[in-house]
Structure formats: structure tokens, C-alpha cells
């Protein structure tokens, strides 16, 4: 791997922007069942940002997480290379958490992102934890397994 292959680290202003957008997106969550609001903001390598929120359904397994909403929006608009995502989640009338992405969302990250993809779990633009995809989903199953 050379330098060009390494993921870019967003500067502080961009991290704040992603965390703030993720928090704003919680207002759009459609969560009549769980009342757990999650927002996400996904940064592409060419600097675009795609947002998402969770969208539930009376048929519970149909519900979609905020992160997957953001990825599907981005990919459907032609984006396929990503640097970072900010996630902001918590119950409707409770405190925000360092809300970790679920397993299914980690797997969609595995489809489109390298191991150094950055995942910000934000309580606020100034209060977050950051992990890489390698940390949150080691030894992941990818398309390369199908070809081996």
C-alpha cells in the first residue's frame, strides 16, 4: 500500500460538520416503534456528504438504519468511495449515546470501505468516539472471499 491508498482523515471542521449533520438528521427519523432516533452523515472521498436517518416499518424487520440509508443514497447517486461516517443516536426523550453501528451496517461499510474508514460515534460535534472499520469489523467477509 502506498500513500495514495491511505484514507484521508477529515479536519476538525469537517468532523464537526459531519457530527452536527448526523445530529440534525435525528429529527427526520421515522421511529414510531422503537422511538430511538439515529442520524448519519457519510463523507465521500471527493468531499460530498450524504445524510440518512432510520426508517421503521410496522413489519419490524423491514426497518432501515440511518447508516444504511446514507450509504444507499450515496451509491444510488454514483458515490462509491468513502472516508468517514458520523452517527448520532439515542432514545427520543433520553440522552445521546456513543451509538455503535449494528452488524448489518458494519457489513455495508465492509462492502464499500477500506479498513481505515473512520466511524465517529457522536454525542455532539465536540464529544465523540472514533473507530476504524478494522476495529469494528475485523476478519470481515467481502467479495474477495467469493473469488478465493
Using CB under 6 A, list all residues that contact ligand THU: 31, 34, 36, 38, 54, 56, 63, 65-67, 101-102, 105
CA gap 31, 60 in Å, rounded? 11
Q: Supply the minimum distance, in Å, between the C-beta of residue 102 and ligand THU.
A: 4
Residue 8 or residue 102: which is nearer to ligand THU going by CB? Answer: 102
Residue 101 or residue 125: which is nearer to ligand THU going by CB? Answer: 101
Q: Supply the minimum distance, in Å, between the C-beta of residue 3 and ligand THU.
A: 32
Residue 17 or residue 28: which is nearer to ligand THU going by CB? Answer: 28
List CB contacts of 54: < 8 A, sequence separation 6 or more. 29, 30, 31, 36, 37, 38, 63, 64, 65, 66, 69
Residue 13 or residue 91: which is nearer to ligand THU going by CB? Answer: 91
Q: Supply the minimum distance, in Å, between the C-beta of residue 101 and ligand THU.
A: 4
CA gap 31, 9 in Å, rounded? 32
**Residue 25, C-alpha cell as written in the block:** 438528521
Q: Which of 93, 94, 106 is nearest to 136 (CA)?
A: 106
Q: Supply the minimum distance, in Å, between the C-beta of residue 146 and ligand THU.
A: 25
- Concerning whether 95 is annotated as a catalytic residue, the answer is no
Among candidate residues 67, 81, 95, 135, the one labeled active-site is 67
φ, ψ of residue 96 to 5 degrees: the values are -70, 150
Sheet of 127-132: strand order equals 49-53, 36-44, 82-91, 118-124, 127-132
* Catalytic residue set: 67
Amino acid at each position: 500500500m502506498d500513500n495514495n491508498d491511505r484514507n484521508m482523515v477529515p479536519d476538525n471542521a469537517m468532523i464537526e460538520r459531519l457530527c452536527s449533520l448526523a445530529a440534525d438528521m435525528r429529527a427526520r427519523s421515522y421511529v414510531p416503534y422503537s422511538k430511538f432516533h439515529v442520524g448519519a452523515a457519510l463523507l465521500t472521498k471527493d468531499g460530498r456528504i450524504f445524510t440518512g436517518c432510520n426508517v421503521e416499518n410496522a413489519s419490524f424487520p423491514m426497518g432501515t438504519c440511518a447508516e444504511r440509508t446514507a450509504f444507499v443514497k450515496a451509491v444510488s447517486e454514483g458515490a462509491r468511495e468513502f472516508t468517514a461516517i458520523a452517527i448520532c443516536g439515542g432514545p427520543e426523550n433520553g440522552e445521546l449515546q456513543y451509538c455503535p453501528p449494528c452488524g448489518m451496517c458494519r457489513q455495508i461499510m465492509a462492502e464499500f470501505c477500506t479498513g481505515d474508514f473512520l466511524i465517529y460515534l457522536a454525542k455532539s460535534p465536540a464529544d465523540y468516539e472514533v473507530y476504524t472499520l478494522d476495529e469494528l469489523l475485523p476478519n470481515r467477509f467481502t467479495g474477495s472471499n467469493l473469488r478465493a
